[in-house]
């Protein structure tokens, strides 16, 4: 699976689990960690865990290695490392505190609505 397709799969999976305020930062050339950061939040610890679990399950179903998943038990900020795509699933109360979009302000924001619209039309 190509990196862009993986990013789109992560966005769609998070959206399917009702993740809120999904944003994607194109990190290529900015960070050595990943090409894309997918950032979203849930409104409760249970929702954060449900989003993170679904992301992990969908990755495994598609033969995508989950390199690391951290923060699942506390469900305040769960990081799922899928290689060139890293998903950050925050609890609503913690997302603005860490404000990754501002921290990585040099990154280009990807149009998530266009990704989701494209998925619906498939």
Instruction: Give residue 36's pLDDT.
Output: 97
48-74 pLDDT per residue, tens: 999 999 999 999 999 999 999 999 999
**Tally of domains in the chain:** 1
* Of 1 and 39, the one with more pLDDT: 39
Instruction: Give residue 89's pLDDT.
Output: 98
Distance CA 74, CA 48 (A): 10
**Strands 85-91 and 36-42, sheet pairing:** parallel
pLDDT of 122 strictly over 80 = no
Spatial strand order of the sheet with 36-42 comes to 68-70, 77-81, 85-91, 36-42, 20-26, 108-110
Q: Which two three-digit tokens encode residue 46? A: 């249970």
pTM score, two decimals? 0.93
The boundaries of the domain holding residue 22 are: 3-120
The CATH number given to whatever domain includes residue 23 is 3.30.460.10
Q: Which two three-digit tokens encode residue 118? A: 């494209």
69-119 pLDDT per residue, tens: 999 999 999 999 999 999 999 999 999 999 998 889 899 999 999 999 876
């Amino acid at each position: 699976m190509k990196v862009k397709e993986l990013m789109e799969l992560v966005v769609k999976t998070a959206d399917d689990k009702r993740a809120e305020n999904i944003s994607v930062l194109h990190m290529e050339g900015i960070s050595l960690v990943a090409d894309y950061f997918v950032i979203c939040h849930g409104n409760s610890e249970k929702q954060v865990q449900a989003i993170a679990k679904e992301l992990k399950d969908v990755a495994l179903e598609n033969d995508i290695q989950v390199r690391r998943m951290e923060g699942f038990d506390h469900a305040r900020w769960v990081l799922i490392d899928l290689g060139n795509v890293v998903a950050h699933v925050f609890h609503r109360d913690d997302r603005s505190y860490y404000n990754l979009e501002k921290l990585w302000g040099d990154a280009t924001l990807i149009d998530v609505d266009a990704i989701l619209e494209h998925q619906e039309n498939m």
